[in-house]
Structure 1
């Protein structure tokens, strides 16, 4: 069967996933309309520039804008296909999924929908979110038919296709990674698969429905979270037993069927730190291991903070003529993973803010991927690596610039094993 073509695609949400996806379609000479509520981001993109850090993204966006294939706006416009890539945060502190951004995006595109359109939810979301989106669209457009009512012959096709990319390698993995597609009907799935084949060289794998596609993405990130929790728990056990966790894992991994991940200061980002809670919310009585892994990883920043307090105390014990106000603390890294500027759900940022709130002395922060410090860091100063002179050094993110840095003098808190 001949692959469908799409003349105009609209991407709703121009963040870390939406903008690279929009740029990828535009690079294939498809007209793309990017929509975002952030007027400053829209203005930046329309200049051919980017507002996020991702290797190669700036070049692709610049070319697509100046060749006329990519344009950003704050208002929705007609298109053949709509991709929704908006945030799915929590409601308050109880880890309840917040679908308000998806609902708002659905209501924004509803007035411009026409028969034959495809709507794809790319946002990582709890099980049932795609069906909820279809419901909001149907409520707003009773003049159109939707797959939950008419099934195969509906006016509008609905599918879920979660992103599965690694920050720092997004432009590569958008092309080469397999895509899981869960349409509300087989025709919905086939149409969505044709859309992604515009640039995807990996396989477009059709799931039995949107719910299993939603669960597949949540499962992928929960798997990693559970394995990271095992490594983080080992690090805490090694602290108690006075062992080097890095040596322990290195030795254990010599077994041909063991591959323990590396511990860290916690888990961050808008995927691994968030998605497992969506599974827990759907089946709290059954998701006991997943919930416990989340609790282990969420507790890790507190353990790192305890080590920082102990390091400051050790320095003061060795220098009884000094006070805490004279102790400089240097923090290395704020991002949630190496070599990116993404601070979402970052345990490093959480630790830095907690240090800033209680440490009375100077605080220097080295984060080569940001131009200014975020809020909540008090009087801390952003400094280049060569200016990180301090009595206490706290390694939180193993950016490539840090890996060749000699072990500094003073007290060391190394949550990433950079300095051994």
Structure 2
């Protein structure tokens, strides 16, 4: 046994069985990480198809190194998936937290997860909320549990020795590097009491190489929202620059490259908007609770949310020029949208501005709209009746207008001089 493995083996052994509720882009990698340390892990998901795939040793999402970890864990019996919670020593909730109309946080999936696990709770269990949530969500979850299980004492009822420990611990991983960052990145642990933070730290230290930094649950919740709001504001600056540079006839990517040579300047890259379940959503959680104070955060969200509309206007102008130059009818013009994922080289389409742009184009355009996305096998429901999934080669050969939306490696490998189309809307600067 190596020194590293011995260290992991000596860590807290009280968590013999760990349950992860929600087997998506965060839950499944987390379950696999615990299982890789020879812990019995019960994954819970309401999606029967996902459960069946996992129990066969497969994965239903694309993430480097994940499939091999899941396959090995299932084969040796450390990981299995079910559709309803079973007794465990620790429960991690990693379900979606979207927003409702008016950008109000929707905690319905968290509430359903809490309701489903409450019957199997026993004294000594630990519950951790990982889902991105508004400030106060962990305390609210504890109140739901107290109402469902009056026979147990929770941290808000007994701060020194509750029957159930509760904490908030957000993920801090980048899609495409989840299995590396999940293990190496520091974690912010927000317990409802100091003892809750200690217990949560003991759990994550089963696989974590980074540091567990403890605080209270409200600060941990705000920390997650702050991290993604910071990134959103910085992306909004880059996106706003791209609009200004377009008006001025300036190459925004060259401008940013030059400005970033300043020792204290680090401008991010513009794009068609901001996507993903975190950056495109989390800032609204702050705005919803502080609408009069979060003025900069709101403005950044509005800048990034409006960028897809600007992209579509550029496509409309390209099509109009194409019609004039070729004499074609609008119905004869083929538009190919390159990329649907919210970032390069993944299959995650959540809150993707590329999907939004493609849908807006298809709703407006009289001709065919194609989507070139090498990481998916089928289109999302919002596009399936409007858009055709197209192979890269066919799009390059036959499309009249090309719209670069996601800088997948497969697209970046194509030299710009090989792009024969006269009308190219490049939101990522790949073929400029």
TM-score by length of 1: 0.98
Q: Does structure 2 retain, via aligned residues, the 8 Å contact 1:4–1:194?
A: no
Quote the offset at 1:316 in angstroms: 1.1
> Counterparts of 1:154 and 1:251 in 2: how far apart (Å)?
57
Q: Does structure 2 retain, via aligned residues, the 8 Å contact 1:331–1:394?
A: yes
Q: Does 1:328 align with 2:330?
A: no
Q: Does 1:347 align with 2:353?
A: yes
- Equivalent residues, number: 417
Of residues 297, 314, 317, the one that matches 1:307 is 314
> Counterparts of 2:221 and 2:208 in 1: how far apart (Å)?
19
Of residues 145, 154, 162, the one that matches 1:154 is 162
Structure 2 counterpart of 1:277: 284
Q: Does 1:211 align with 2:223?
A: no
Structure 2 counterpart of 1:393: 402
**Unaligned residue ranges in structure 2 (runs of 5+):** 1-9
SS in 2 for 1:151: coil
Of residues 185, 190, 195, the one that matches 1:187 is 195
> Counterparts of 1:380 and 1:19 in 2: how far apart (Å)?
31
SS in 2 for 1:153: coil
Quote the offset at 1:248 in angstroms: 1.1
> Counterparts of 1:239 and 1:122 in 2: how far apart (Å)?
40
Quote the offset at 1:4 in angstroms: 5.0
Quote the offset at 1:265 in angstroms: 0.1
Structure 2 counterpart of 1:52: 61
Quote the offset at 1:36 in angstroms: 0.7
**Unaligned residue ranges in structure 1 (runs of 5+):** none
Q: Does 1:413 align with 2:425?
A: yes
Quote the offset at 1:379 in angstroms: 4.2
Q: Does 1:132 align with 2:140?
A: yes
> Counterparts of 1:359 and 1:125 in 2: how far apart (Å)?
38
SS in 1 for 2:225: helix
Quote the offset at 1:325 in angstroms: 1.1
Mapping of residues 12-411 of structure 1, within 5 Å: 12-92=21-101, 94-207=102-215, 209-319=216-326, 321-377=327-383, 378-388=385-395, 389-407=398-416, 408-411=420-423
Q: Does structure 1 retain, via aligned residues, the 8 Å contact 2:11–2:202?
A: no
> Counterparts of 2:64 and 2:268 in 1: how far apart (Å)?
25
Q: Does structure 1 retain, via aligned residues, the 8 Å contact 2:192–2:217?
A: yes
> Counterparts of 1:376 and 1:104 in 2: how far apart (Å)?
26
Quote the offset at 1:397 in angstroms: 0.2
> Counterparts of 2:404 and 2:340 in 1: how far apart (Å)?
10
> Counterparts of 2:348 and 2:183 in 1: how far apart (Å)?
21
The one-character-per-residue Cα deviations of 1:373-418 (angstroms, maximum 9, x if unpaired) are 1223334221221111211110000000000113332201000000
Quote the offset at 1:283 in angstroms: 1.4
> Counterparts of 2:183 and 2:212 in 1: how far apart (Å)?
11
Q: Does structure 2 retain, via aligned residues, the 8 Å contact 1:390–1:410?
A: no
TM-score by length of 2: 0.95
Q: Does structure 2 retain, via aligned residues, the 8 Å contact 1:4–1:191?
A: no
The one-character-per-residue Cα deviations of 1:269-289 (angstroms, maximum 9, x if unpaired) are 000000000111121111100
SS in 1 for 2:331: helix
Quote the offset at 1:254 in angstroms: 1.1
* Worse-superposed segment, 49-58 or 242-251: 242-251
> Counterparts of 1:413 and 1:284 in 2: how far apart (Å)?
35
SS in 1 for 2:402: strand
* Worse-superposed segment, 405-414 or 338-347: 405-414
Quote the offset at 1:26 in angstroms: 0.5
Quote the offset at 1:80 in angstroms: 0.4
SS in 2 for 1:147: coil
> Counterparts of 2:225 and 2:382 in 1: how far apart (Å)?
30
